[in-house]
Amino acid sequence: MDISEILSAKFTEFDVGTPLSKVAGAFENQELDAVIVTGDDEYRGVVSRRQLAFSSNQPSAKVGSQVQHVPTVDRTEDVREVARLMIGSDAKTLPVLDDDRAVGVVTGDAVLEAVRPFLDAVTVDDAYTAELISATPETTIGKALNMLRDAGIAHLPVVDGDDLAGMLSLYDVIEFTTRGGSKSQGGSSSGFGGRSGGGQSRGGFGAREGDADRMLDLPVRNLMSDTVATVEQCAPLDEVVETMFEREISSLVVTADDTDKPVGIITKTDVIEALTWERDDRNAVQVFGIDLLEGMDYDDVSALIESVTSKYGKMSVIKASIELQEHKERSRGMPLVLARIRLVTDRGYFTADGEGYGASHALRLAANTVERQLLKGKTYGQSKKHSDAAEQARLYGWWLGG
């Protein structure tokens, strides 16, 4: 199955010289995940909603300074390959190019919509993140913002004891801290990217308006949404995706089947990642752009990953994804290359980028960064559990055969 029928020819485009403040305004359209950036009528990259939310640049800065280089695809790219590229690059909108010009985009939502009928073979229990990063109602907004940024997530469940109390959205925090100072009642049901999952945000900030430091000291109970969407571990993934689309949210808190106790979270990213599982070889190293490597082949890349992970005790690598992307810039005939490594292990996620002249150099720089992360024990989430071979055969039979 290719993307020819699910790509969209409608996308938002900005020149590299456009101020970030204008780009931020475009994201008030909550359906927009990323914008295309061009220069001299050629594609230059993308800027995503999350990337802009995490950015500390001044609004007067130009969008060209925030350009992210993500994989590009053509009209006939396979849906499963697109899912792999999205996971490998941590991008949920990929540009569709024709002769260096953007002619459309393919989004994670479009991929999920296309494969939703086939997702009933796998359950939440197979794909959810078992470690729930959460706040308490008394956690300060400033601390919660740091938690969101450190974990690279956009939604933070608020838990009071064993009970779910609400949901805090990164975008609502950004909206409140950057614009909320002029509001007497705080909280936002719209504005910059507000996807809090329903419910009414609380208010009552009164005399604190305009004082950014004091706003960050407020407890999250004043800003969180009251309503939290949940799903049981036994639910099939097609129902998860349907709920996400119906409620216009991107995550559900997972509860144990026999209780209402929160045990984890499942996101659209988790479901897309489930599409990349290998039916037979779960430890396969996936390399995208391997043709860019000079003096290295697939076996060399696999050996490099094994050498990095084998230094730190017993660690099971569930999936290693390596993406190589060449830029136009060159030095002494050698292209500037971005290498991105993403490891999914039984100890959590590890991600790192390396940029250098020549793919091999860039890859080794990224590997060195992963090594440092492993040494420090820095992870980005709990590993996923994989479905058994029979479930994966049912899930993938419709496209693996082709």
Summarize pLDDT for 8-30 with one digit per residue, the tens.
999 999 999 999 888 888 887 66
Say how far apart CA 362 and CA 51 lie, in whole Å. 22
- What does the pLDDT average to over 376-385? 51
User: Which pLDDT belongs to residue 179?
Assistant: 60
Q: How many CB atoms lie within 10 A of CB 86?
A: 25
Residue 302 has pLDDT above 80, yes or no: yes
Per the prediction, the chain carries an average pLDDT of 79
**CATH code given to domain 285-376:** 3.30.160.100
Helix, coil or strand: residue 382: coil
Percent of the chain with pLDDT over 70: 80
In DSSP notation, 240-291 reads: HHHHHHHHT-SEEEEE-TTS--EEEEEEHHHHHHHTT--SS-TTPEEEESGG
pLDDT by residue (tens digit) across 51-61?
877 776 676 78
Rounded to two decimals, what is the model's pTM? 0.65
More confident residue, 201 or 301: 301
Percent of the chain with pLDDT over 90: 26
Q: Tokens standing for 329? A: 């810039």
Q: Label residue 334 left, alpha or beta by phi (over 0 means left) and psi (-120 to 50 means alpha).
A: beta
Say how far apart CA 248 and CA 268 lie, in whole Å. 11
From residue 162, give the alpha-carbon distance in Å to each of 96, 224, 254, 255, 262: 45, 17, 13, 11, 7
Residues 6 or more apart whose Cβ sits within 8 Å of residue 322: 88, 285, 286, 287, 288, 301, 305, 339, 340, 341, 342, 363
Residue 260 has pLDDT above 50, yes or no: yes
Q: Tokens standing for 120? A: 């009933």
Element (H, E) at 356: strand 348-357
Residue extents of the structural domains in the chain: 13-108, 127-274, 285-376
Residue 50 has pLDDT above 70, yes or no: yes
The CA-based diameter of the chain, rounded to the nearest angstrom, is: 64
Helix, coil or strand: residue 138: coil
Give 346's pLDDT tier (boundaries 50, 70, 90). Answer: low
Please say whether the beta carbons of 148 and 156 come within 8 A.
yes
User: Which pLDDT belongs to residue 154?
Assistant: 83
- What does the pLDDT average to over 44-65? 81
Say how far apart CA 337 and CA 339 lie, in whole Å. 6
Please say whether the beta carbons of 136 and 156 come within 8 A.
no
From residue 72, give the alpha-carbon distance in Å to each of 3, 177, 198, 326, 363: 13, 34, 33, 11, 19
Q: Tokens standing for 401? A: 């055969």
Residues 6 or more apart whose Cβ sits within 8 Å of residue 296: 304, 359, 360, 363
Q: How many CB atoms lie within 10 A of CB 277?
A: 22
User: Which pLDDT belongs to residue 358?
Assistant: 92
Write phi, then psi, for 82 (nearest 5 degrees): -60, -40
Please say whether the beta carbons of 201 and 187 come within 8 A.
yes
User: Which pLDDT belongs to residue 232?
Assistant: 92
Topology agreement, domain 13-108 and domain 285-376: no
Q: How many CB atoms lie within 10 A of CB 56?
A: 5
Residue 240 has pLDDT above 80, yes or no: yes
User: Which pLDDT belongs to residue 216?
Assistant: 85
- What does the pLDDT average to over 36-44? 90
- Homologous superfamily of 127-274: CBS-domain (3.10.580.10)
Tell the residue number behind the tokens 């996971």, with chain if given. 87
pLDDT by residue (tens digit) across 176-214?
876 654 333 333 333 333 444 444 444 433 334 445 667
Mean pLDDT is lowest, of 142-156, 213-227, 334-348, for 334-348
- What does the pLDDT average to over 99-117? 90
Residue 365 has pLDDT above 90, yes or no: yes
- What does the pLDDT average to over 286-304? 84
- What does the pLDDT average to over 112-134? 85
More confident residue, 149 or 134: 134
Residues 6 or more apart whose Cβ sits within 8 Å of residue 95: 11, 36, 43, 46, 70, 72, 73, 102, 104, 105
Give 387's pLDDT tier (boundaries 50, 70, 90). Answer: very low
More confident residue, 9 or 122: 9
Q: Tokens standing for 232? A: 């049981």
From residue 133, give the alpha-carbon distance in Å to each of 129, 373, 380: 10, 19, 10
Give 118's pLDDT tier (boundaries 50, 70, 90). Answer: confident
Range of 129-133, 376-380, 385-389 with top mean pLDDT: 129-133
**CATH code given to domain 13-108:** 3.10.580.10
